[in-house]
Amino acid sequence: MTHVTCDLAVTLDGYAAGPSQTSERPFGEIDTMTLHAWHLELVDRHQAEHDAIVGADAYVMGRNMFSPKAPGPWPDDWIGWWGAEPPYRAPVFVLTHHPHDPIPLDGGTTFHFVTDGPATALAQAREVAGAEGRVSVAGGATTVNAYLAAGEIDELRLHVVPYAAGLTGAPRLFDGVGPIAWSAVSGRWTPEVTHLVYRR
């Protein structure tokens, strides 16, 4: 059966992004350099030790992870934060209330837009990945929490930065999810981030 994982960079207090997202601030009001420098190759001291957050056979993400223009109709010229060659190199299923034609881009990434809810998006991603493949729930926190609450994530890979954001007005990982028992699989530490892996 398809393995469903989630890779998410979070602060010590559970934030993967802040409020007030704009096209200039993809992660909203949060210290993006602290949260994401470790995997954006902005720090090179321990780059070889960090876990990759891509490499799945298909992905699911929330609309805000794809675009800052939410809610409302899609902007005509928007192809995602990552430009013409996103890092996913696989089909990506974007949750939305507004239909959009698929967007094929360089390197093998195609964004597909799903208006029928999280279960449909995950079913489409599973079909693409195949029984022996892997689907990754890419984020943001609201989307991850929906799949956690539904019991659909088999493996949770948290990349915890040593920083407490102290935010208000933004969702946090596990908000509204309820109790879930996990088994700790592994943990690795560097000064920039601690990589933790849990399985249900």
Q: How far apart are CA 187 and CA 197, in angstroms?
A: 6
With contact defined as beta carbons under 8 Å apart, do 160 and 127 qualify? no
Q: Residue 156 in contact with residue 5, Cβ under 8 Å?
A: yes
Contact indicator for 121, 91 with CB cutoff of 8 Å: no
User: Mean pLDDT over all residues of the chain?
Assistant: 89
For the chain, list the domains and their CATH numbers.
3-199 (3.40.430.10)
Encoded tokens for 69: 């223009």
pLDDT over threshold 50, residue 155? yes
What is the C-alpha to C-alpha distance for residues 128 and 142, in angstroms, rounded to an integer? 23
- Over residues 163-173, the pLDDT tens digits come to 999 998 899 99
pTM of the model: 0.91
